[in-house]
Amino acid sequence: MALVPLMVAVGVAWAAVTDNMFPTANTGSSCALGMGHPPCQTDNREVYFYMDSSGEYKLESEDRSTVNAAIDGEYRPTDLAFHYDSSPVFEGSGETDIIYQEGSTGLPDSVAGRTWCNARGGTRYNCDQQYIRIRGNGEYNYARVCHETGHAVGLQHGDYASPQLSKTDSRLGCMVTPSAGHSDLGSNNRDNINATY
Ligand SMILES: [Zn+2]
């Protein structure tokens, strides 16, 4: 009688539908600074974030609650550890990872929110500091915070994923576009995050 070899799974099973974590086969391979590029990874699993509390890009208390709710609901259950940084750092090699802003300066009329890197991290894939700017007046909602926060940790739209998916494919969770279409991060994005950090 023949012995049937058993396949033993080691580590975490990869169940993701697509690779949508920067870099993919459909993005460049180096993090680019400024708006309009595929978003880069953050520089490690300890994610420090800040919400502008004065000036042009100040978040109102309702927006702050929305950011906290989306982080609590969607990102704390991942392997990323989010920490509020009440003394944000904007220079040097260890800047606060994500700066949330409310505003529309620099956003095309058709765009509700943008995420961009303004300081490279320690590798070509990652970023030391990402900015998230989302319009006010009802646009600062849970699904959009989930979407832009996904970009700030390296998640891409469907057309930059590998294999590519329709940008509205529901398996992209809150990374669908238009960006307020889905509220939940979903298993594909969670698997990509947990495989990376
Ligand atoms: Zn987007």
Q: Domain of 98: which CATH number?
A: 3.40.390.10
Residue 187 lies in a domain: no
Q: Are 183 and 69 in contact (CB under 8 A)?
A: no
- Structural domain harbouring 71: 41-155
pLDDT in tens, 17-29: 999 999 999 999 9
**Ligand 1 center to 12 CA (angstroms):** 28
Q: How many CB atoms lie within 10 A of CB 197?
A: 18
Give the pairing type, strands 41-42 and 81-84: unpaired
Q: What are phi and psi of 161, to 5 degrees?
A: -75, 165
Residue 133 lies in a domain: yes
Q: Are 63 and 140 in contact (CB under 8 A)?
A: yes
**Ligand 1 center to 63 CA (angstroms):** 19
pLDDT in tens, 70-85: 999 999 999 999 999 9
Going 140 to 141 to 146 to 151, the CA torsion angle's sign is negative
**Ligand 1 center to 90 CA (angstroms):** 24
Residue 7 lies in a domain: no
**Ligand 1 center to 42 CA (angstroms):** 16
pLDDT band of 1, cuts 50, 70, 90: very low
**Ligand 1 center to 31 CA (angstroms):** 16
Rounded distance, CA 65 to CA 102, Å?
Answer: 13
Q: Write down the pLDDT at residue 13.
A: 56
**Ligand 1 center to 147 CA (angstroms):** 6
Residue 136 lies in a domain: yes
Mean predicted lDDT score pLDDT of the chain: 93
Q: Are 184 and 173 in contact (CB under 8 A)?
A: yes
Number of domains in the chain: 1
Percent of the chain with pLDDT over 70: 93
